[in-house]
Amino acid sequence: MTKLVQLCTNKKSLFVLLGLSTVIAIVFGVIPDAVAHGVTAGDKGYIQEIVGVLPIPFMYLGAKHMMTGYDHLLFLFGVIFFLYHLKDVGIYVTLFAVGHVITLLSGVLMDISINAYIIDAIIGFSIVYKALDNMGAYQRWFNFQPNTKIATLIFGLFHGLGLATKILDYELSADGLLYNLIFFNIGVEVGQVLALAAILILITYWRRFGNFMHRAYSANTVLMMLGFLLIGYQLAGFFTS
């Protein structure tokens, strides 16, 4: 594990890890259909047939998206990893939610579409970025600490844009679209609170009864590797589609 940590905190080695992640995705044939923000076949058919304002179904879809969105959960895990007070957790999660809402609404209503593979690769990068931040890499490399609140807001914008890009592919009915998107966002926030509560319980238990600080560096190394795998997964889809 020591050698792995040293590899992961070397700037040149990060590009090697990115390349290896892409090769692994291609070799094993795991070419995604932008799965990080994918919608199941059943939900897709339902979304395309919807006409009018339907609060409950869209709140359900929003909550389901957040609860099963591993990219969101991994990023939030990194964001709250070293936050010990609920006030701080609330601030960062709110910043992420604000960014998510802005680009989801504006992206769909203004028809702003970006290649789903590219946007999801950026979302994978957000996980890598936060893991490296938790590991103190930027201070060590550049003697500079980026503003964590601004970074959370910016990456929240990308996370919301990723979902907006996917929703645009399904050509939702204009009838009740704005209200349905609002209800979808409410569902997203409900799902986020539930997922966040579970993460906080696990981290709190780990802090009290486990060797949290001793394993924190290794945990963020794993988080970073998962982010690289997500980047490679999406880039493989982009270059082979």
Q: Residue 125 pLDDT > 90, yes or no?
A: yes
Most confident of 28-32, 87-91, 176-180: 87-91
pLDDT per position as a tens digit, 150-162: 999 999 999 999 8
- Entry pTM: 0.82
Neighbours of 140 (CB within 10 A): 11
Q: Which residue in the block uniquely carries the two structure tokens 């990893």? A: 81
Distance (Å, whole) CA 206 – CA 217: 14
Neighbours of 24 (CB within 10 A): 15
* pLDDT value of position 171: 72
Q: Residue 34 pLDDT > 50, yes or no?
A: no
Model confidence at 38, in pLDDT bands (50, 70, 90)?
Answer: low
For residue 113, the one-letter residue type is S
Distance (Å, whole) CA 135 – CA 140: 9
Most confident of 50-59, 147-156, 217-226: 147-156
Q: Which domain holds residue 128?
A: 2-240
Q: Among residues of the chain, what percentage have pLDDT more than 70?
A: 79
Output the 3-class SS for 217-241: HHHHHHHHHHHHHHHHHHHHHHHHC
Q: Which residue in the block uniquely carries the two structure tokens 């844009």? A: 161
Q: Is 201 or 38 the better-scoring residue by pLDDT?
A: 201
Averaged pLDDT of the chain: 81
Nearest in space to 120 (alpha carbons), one of 204, 62, 191, 38: 38
Whether the CB-CB separation of 85 and 205 falls below 8 Å is answered with no
Both tokens assigned to 86: 């609920």
* pLDDT value of position 7: 45
* pLDDT value of position 5: 46
Number of domains forming the structure of the chain? 1
Q: Residue 45 pLDDT > 60, yes or no?
A: yes
Model confidence at 14, in pLDDT bands (50, 70, 90)?
Answer: low
